[in-house]
Amino acid sequence: LEKRLEMDRDQYDASEELARLLVDVGQPAQARKVLEAAKSAAPTSARPRLGLAVLAYQTGGDLAGAAAEFQALSESSEQPPLIKAEALLHLGIIQRISGETDKAVASIDRSLEFAPDSTPAHLQKFMLLLDRNIASSARLELDGLKGKLND
């Protein structure tokens, strides 16, 4: 992957995969460098911005910075629906982690408007329903997840 990126810096799929592997082996700083290089190679692309924001909250603890980036991506008229859906999904996760359940529900619901079949968004909705002690709705959400979680 590194050789491929040396030859063609704007190969985001390779950057994304390499960054994921680096995080898996405990090298988030190196993963950040890979994503920063991808962002430099394609400054208008949303995917490196998404990757950096995910890395910021998942490994760097920067919930506020990541939330601001996800909010900006979700509100941009230039972004396609799937980018908005992913940004809203991660924004909802940050809000859930931060105890902002009502905001998290709104973000996840908006994410599902853009990507109704998103398993990660439905999983987050399930967890939010559990957080709110709405067992009957959580059960329905869980039924919809069966067979989609490698179960």
pTM: 0.88
Q: How many CB atoms lie within 10 A of CB 45?
A: 14
Closest CA to 113 of 126, 122, 103: 122
pLDDT at 142: 87
Whether 55 has a pLDDT exceeding 60, the answer reads yes
Residue type, 68: A
pLDDT at 86: 97
Q: What whole-number distance in Å separates Cα of residue 15 and Cα of residue 20?
A: 9
CB 96 within 8 A of CB 111: no
Q: What are phi and psi of 6, to 5 degrees?
A: -65, -35
Cβ-Cβ contacts under 8 Å for 69 (sequence gap 6 or more): 49, 50, 52, 53, 56, 87
Whether 81 has a pLDDT exceeding 90, the answer reads yes
Tens digits of residue pLDDT in 131-150: 999 998 999 888 888 888 77
**pLDDT-derived band at 45, boundaries 50, 70, 90:** confident
pLDDT at 16: 85
Whether 11 has a pLDDT exceeding 90, the answer reads no
Q: What whole-number distance in Å separates Cα of residue 16 and Cα of residue 8?
A: 14
Whether 9 has a pLDDT exceeding 90, the answer reads no
